[in-house]
Every structure is written in structure tokens, then in C-alpha cells.
Amino acid sequence: MHQSHMQQPAQTSLANFSHDGRIGLIEIDNPPVNALSVPLVQALIAALNDFEAVAGLEALVLYGAGRTWVAGADIATFDDPGFPVAEFNAFLTRLDAQQCHVVAALHGAVLGGGLELAMACHHRVAQPNTRLGLPEVTFGIVPGAQGTQRLPRLVGAELALDMITSGRALDATQAQAAGLVDAVAEGDARSIGLAAAEALLASGAAPRRASALAVQPAPETAFAKAEAAAAKKPGWPQLATAIRCVRAAQDLPFAQGEQVEADAFAALVNASSAKALRHLFFAEREAAKIPGLPRDTARRPIRSVGIVGSGTMGGGIAMAFVNGGIPVSLIDVSNEALQRGLGLIRGNYEASVAKGRLTAEQVEQRMGLLQGSLDYQALADCDLIIEAVFEDLQLKTEVCTRLGAVAKPGAIIATNTSTLDVDRLAQATGRPADVLGMHFFSPANVMRLLEVVRGAATAPEVLATVLKLAGAIGKVPVVSGVCYGFIGNRMAEVYMREADSLILEGAEPAQVDAAVEALGMAMGPCRMLDMAGVDVGARTVIEYRKTGGLPDDPSYRALALELFELGRFGQKTAAGFYRYDGRKALPDPQVTEIAKALAERHGIARRSHIEPGEIVERLLYPLINEGLKILDEGIAYRSGDIDVVWVAGYGFPDFRGGPLWMANEIGLEKIAERLAHYAAVRGNDHGYWTPARLLSAAGSTQNIQVQS
């Protein structure tokens, strides 16, 4: 093109029109990710008006400025009743109806509304680094800008059904093979868009509108499979709705299917489940923003990691790092323990190969990043060292003392303790500024949560380094202050306390679990402790007793402690609160007899029936109350941090937003009233039912807002 034929865009809008010879150009420029918003939609409409006002233009190219095309709608706009869904959809219909070729030049993230915008264009060319998907179900909704209607017409109903109900994205190569992208090309977005437009004009072909294409139908088995999966997630109504929308695309003309989608989107966007999921989306991002810790805080390089302890937790932590490409030195006290740990890691990887998730070459590559040793000197050059030994304060103190002596200057020392005093362990190293807690959740190579415990002396750059590192290994970090159990296990302690009490009073473990699993918990407290290890849970109580932290209550956690003494450690011994056939939990009459004997020993009256409603209140309301105490004490920075901990680490249902978000939905006043009820009925000598200050502040609970 000659310079004289080019009109440069005036950079005054979020969508800037210009033209290059006979080709019009609309540059989308809404940093950092070109998210759709009310102003951007209005700017796109204005830019299309400008294009239509210039005579003689024969094609139009849309492309994104900066690092990406359009990464979706600004999620915050979903809570804005003025967000112009209908206006944006009308713009897409108008774009689709253009008589000249409309080309989308794609790069980076093409997600949600960004993909819907691209699909309204007639031709899509993408850089090799492009990712395309419709993740709306993860926000509690369905695509609302014709996405459920255009995607099946481009890739077929079966693939569209999978993409829309899973939210998964395709890379550029996959998208081209599926028919979602017409070409993959190297070069900047503007250049590849212009080249594609010129080629289309030279071909003489007519514009290809997705709205006019026939849908390749999905086999009924694909719909049946999707419906069965949706039935297993009743808290996600968006799944069944998405299936209905794809059926509409397959069975109805485009305009009628579009109306089905519009009605479905409107019904979901303000549902409590969608609001909860949006809350968690923002809460996860806020959790990494620490008051008083500037974004430009210097970070220490982490090129290698050392781990002390090759058991279940240590091995899982090692896998998390080598999966992220970071070399690990793993040490243990005996060769037998070390080889067992390395064997378990290899076994886990080989199981992934059997499931098709990894190749044999990837396994060898990851195992090659892992070195075992019996010598602490193997840790001398590590940038980060994590102790992952048994939850015993004396043992962990001894390990931390050794680490303080062997670690190089500037190395970060972390403890994986789940309950113990991080400040005491930090002092044992002799270099407390280099120390913090990194509490991984089991299995550590799978669970997303990482509780980062900020000690009194933790240096800002140490905290900043670990927060950044967490993201690099696929973890969601939440910062906690120092207290018993930090955020998650401090709340879990009162939850488990009431589970024990209910069983001593006559409830069966299966009844206790079923009551909260009906709310959407991944598993109830008894199954959860059996999986984590009754021995692990009991040892935390024993350690807490040593510090004088337990109430003066002889029946406190009596059942868990008794099961521990009897060697019933849960799944690992095939007996805990349940007996086990493989991993299947089965009722065990022996537990009922143990509970009866403990109740008699502690003078606890047993009942023949306990209502599920009481079980739910007694498990969740003290848990919520403890969360409010944690918030009030400043152990957690935000209520959203607490919600993230429980959703990402404990299987709390995401569609309920986390315990404190759920508390607002229930009503804080109701929770305060029920705590008072149980204090009156059960007594409150040990303060179990005393409300948090945030529940009783100023004599009113109505004005307390639980927010991220």
C-alpha cells in the first residue's frame, strides 16, 4: 500500500476507525486486555458507523491493540443493569450482515464476548499464540452474545457442546482444524488481517456468515453425556441451560435460537450462583494484593527448591514444582523413606500416563528435575527450602534450626505447617526475615490453594517472591497472619469439633456428612478427615493441647482422638469414621459403639434422631462465626480471602461463594440468633457459641457487609 492511500486512526476512542486503500480498519484499544465494556461497545458502534460512511471500501478488518484481541467482557459489568447486552448483540447482527468481507485478525486471548465478536465476522485469521473459548459457565452464565448459536454452526454441535459446557479453550491449531479459525498466520494482527482481506477480495468469494451455516448435529449420546454431567452439579444451572441453547442452535433457525439464548442469559445473570462465582473470580485476584506491599517490591530469584520430607505432602509439593519446570532436591532421614517417596512420585506420574494426561517422555523429563538425598548439604544452593515433616513442633523446630544453618544467604525458608506457630519456627532458623509459612493442601500437586503465612518478621520481598511463585506453579495464594490453624484449619477446627459432638450425641458419620454434602460440599467432615488422615487431625489437636490452646473440656474432639488411639487413621488403614472397601466409605457399627462409650464416659445424653437442619447449623454457623473473628483480628485481610481458602482448599461449593459470602445470603442476623439458641440449649461454658464482634457490633447485624 502506498502511504498516500492510508488514513491513520485518530487515537481518541476505544475503537478507532481508519482505512488502508480499499480496506477499512477498526482497532480495538481498551488496555490491558481490550475487555468489552459499555464505552467499548459504544465505540465499536461509532467505528462501524464511520466505516459505513466512507464510500468505496470493499472489506473491513477488526484487530486488537496491545497484547491481545478481546479477552471477554469486563466481569464487573454483569452487575451493571445498564450493560447493553441487546445493543452489543444488535451490533454483532449488523456486523454479520455487512455486504463486504469482515475479517477478525486474532491474537492472544479470544474469550467470551471476544470470541462472539470474532464469530460475527465472516473470516478469522489468528496468530499461532491465539487461544479461543467461551468460559461463561465458570461465571454462572451462558454466552449471551449469540455465541451458543454461532459456535455450533462453525464447529458442529458436538464440539460446541463440549466447549460451552466445559469452558475450555482451543489453541490456534485446534481451532483451525475445527473450523473456528480459517487461517493461522505469523505477523502482527493488523498485517495478517490486511493480507487476509486482500486474499478474500482477490478470490472473488462471497462473505461467509456463520449465522447462515447449517449445524452439523451432535449424536444424542453427546447430549445425554452432557446432561448426566450437568445433573451431578445441581448448583450450576448454567450447564443444563447451555445444553438447551446448543439444542436450539441445532433445531431452530438462527433468530429463534438467538432468542432462546437471550432469555437464558437474562435468567442466569442475576442468579445467586452466578453472583457467587463472580465474587470468587474477583476475590482470587484481590487475594494477591497485599496492603502495604507495593507491586514493584523486589523479588528474589527462585531457580531451585529444596524439600525436607518425602512423604505424601513432601512428594506432592515436589511434584508441584517440577511440574512448573523448577528443579527440586528432596531429602529424608533414611534411604528407605526417600526411595518410597520417589517411588510414589513416579507412580503418580505413571498413573497420569495411563490416563493419557502425560507422555512417558514428560515423566522422565520431570523425574530428571528431581534429585533425592539424605544429606542436608544438598540444600545448600537452593533458593527456597520447604520443610514438610510431621506436624510436631519439636521436630519442626529442630529441622528449622538445621535449615537456618545450611541455607545460603538470601534463601527463603518455608514451613508447611498446617497449624503451628510460624513465628516460633522462624526464630529457630536464626534468620526470621527469610521465613514464612507455605501451607499446601493435600494432594499438593493437585489442590489449587496455597496459604501463605506472613510472620511478624517476614521481609516484604520474601512475601512478594512467594506470591509470584505461587502463580508460576498454578496455585492460588491467600495470605494469612499467624494464629493456630491460620485461616482454613482454624475454621475447620470448630467444624470438626461439632461433627465429633453430633456423633457422640447419636448422629451417624454418614448423616453428618450427608447434611452438608446436600448443600454442595465436596465431602462432609468425617469423609474429609478420613481422607486427610485421622492421625494427622489428631496430632494437630495434641500439639494444640501442648500449647495450652484447648478449652477445659474433656470431651473436646474425643472421638477423633479415640479413633487415633485405636489405629483407625482413615482410608490409609481402611478404617476411620468409616470402614473402607478400597476408597468406598461404608458405615461401621464399631464407630457407633465407640461413640456410645465416649458419650457415657463424658456424660453426654444421646438422641435417637438429629435433624439435618440442626447438623447444618451446628457445623456451618460456628465455622462462619470463626471466620468473622479471623477477619476482625486481621488474620485475613478480606472476607473474600476467607472464601477463597474454603472454596479452593476445602471443597466448599463455589456456587455458594464461600462461607462468608454465604453468611450474607443467609443473613448475619439469623446466624447470630441461631448461635444464641444453641448457647441457651447446649450451654456456653467454653464459649463455643459466643458471637464474633462483627455479629454483635453496636447491637445490630443488619448493617454489616461481608465483601471481597
Catalytic residues: 116, 136
| φ, ψ of residue 662 in degrees (nearest 5) | -65, -35
CA distance linking residue 446 with residue 316, whole number of Å: 8
DSSP string, 648-661: HHH---GGGT-HHH
DSSP annotation of 572 reads G
| Pairing verdict, β 15-20 and 6-7 | antiparallel
Cell of 621: 454457623
Q: How far apart are CA 514 and CA 190, in angstroms?
A: 57
* 107: DSSP letter: -
- Please check whether residue 295 is in contact with residue 258, taking contact to mean a CB–CB distance below 8 angstroms: no
Residue 146 is given by DSSP the state: S
Q: Measure CA 110 to chain center.
A: 21
- The H-or-E segment that residue 387 falls in is strand 384-387
C-alpha span between 470 and 466 (Å, rounded): 6
The terminus-to-terminus CA distance of the chain in angstroms comes to 52
C-alpha cell belonging to residue 205: 468469494
Measured at the alpha carbon of residue 192, what is the angle toward residues 191 and 195, in degrees to the nearest 5? 85
3-state helix, strand, coil in the chain (%, to 5): 55, 10, 35
Extended strands (E) in 475-578: 476-480
> What is the C-alpha separation between 560 and 488, in angstroms, rounded?
19
Strand ranges of the sheet holding 449-453, from the earlier edge strand across to the other edge:
370-373, 328-331, 305-308, 384-387, 412-415, 435-440, 449-453, 476-480
Each residue of 629-666: b (16+ CB within 10 Å) or e?
bbbeeebbbbbbbbbbbbbbbbbbbbbbbbbbbbbbee
Nearest CA to 534 out of 475, 585, 483, 487 is that of 585
The three cell numbers of residue 61 are 478488518
